[in-house]
Amino acid sequence: MRVLMATLMATIAASAAAAGNGDAVPFELDRNVILVPVRVAGRGPYLAMIDTGTDPSAIDPALAKELGLKLGESGEIDGAGTESAQASETMLPDVALGSVVAKNVEALAGASVTTIGNALGKPVRIILGKSFLDRRIVQVDFPGRVLRFPANAPNASPASPDRAVLRFRYDDDVMLEGVRIDGKPVRAILDTGSNGSVKLTPEAVRALGLHAQATAGKTSESTGFRGSYAIREGKLESLDLGTIHVAGPAAVFWSPGTGHDGKPWDANIGNAVLKDFVVTLDAVDGILVLEKPR
């Protein structure tokens, strides 16, 4: 899921926050979505989703009004779905997640946050994305159900079948290097806002020769920032994340016209894959470490 202004140029910079000390912050994994309590402007807690695929962050407009946040220019947002959706620029004066406090966190206020919460059946009020996560080291211990914010970079242990080290750059999304699907290199993003396994753009379906699988796949429905849309579900032969091999992962084949055309990437890697790992996202040095717990 992404909140990226299609008609506005967001120029408000989020200030660097105090580094975390690595204390564990418990989270709920509900239908493979990471949910945590956060405080904003000293109030709360409010239920928030952790989403590396949202740029910048997002807040329910009713909560923004309740907090007295100033709303700036409004515009159409880009994202998954087939409906029109609007959002306004705003700033979260401070966001506290455990011992980590971020100041002046750029966000967009839009009803799409409520749409996501309704789809989950949870009162999600905030989505913490790039403006909170960038320039941090964040560890998501999926098996242990805790978040950590280490002060130091991940250890330099060599890669193995149970430990992968991948380079990335954090543009609008976390753009990974070293990912292969069915043995072929792809441009992939890591998306902790996705509760699925592997999702492929229409262009990737064509490039990988998966049209037959996509056409024959089971039809179901998904929800994004621009409403619901139909998807096709199937399986792939394999997914390789660096040295980690996943056989026969589930896949979603996105159809044209559902908000996934013309992306600078081919594949979206979601929490249905990540949930088996301790995931360390070092957005300072651009290193992602995936480890199977011992």
pLDDT for 22 equals: 52
pTM: 0.88
Give me the pLDDT at residue 79, please.
60
In this prediction, residue 2 carries a pLDDT of 43
Report whether CATH 2.40.70.10 matches the domain 4-136.
yes
pLDDT score at 20: 44
Domain boundaries, the chain: 4-136, 163-291
Low-confidence ranges of the chain (pLDDT < 70): 1-22, 77-84, 224-227
Residue 77: what pLDDT?
62
Identify the pLDDT of residue 156.
72
Check for a shared fold between 4-136 and 163-291: yes
Res 222: pLDDT: 76
Q: What is the pLDDT of residue 259?
A: 83
Q: What is the pLDDT of residue 86?
A: 79
Write out the chain in H/E/C secondary structure: CCCEECCCCCCCCCCCCCCCCCCCEECEEECCEEEEEEEECCEEEEEEEECCCCCCCEECHHHHHHCCCCCCCEEEEECCECCCCEEEEEEEEEEEECCEEEEEEEEEECCHHHHHHHHHCCCEEEEECHHHHCCCEEEEECCCCEEECCCCCCCCCCCECCEEEEEEEECCCEEEEEEEECCEEEEEEECCCCCCCEEECHHHHHHCCCHHHHHHCEEEEEEECEEEEEEEEEECCEEEECCEEEECCEEEECCCCCCCCCCCCCEEECHHHHCCCEEEEECCCCEEEEECCC
Domain 163-291 has CATH 2.40.70.10: yes
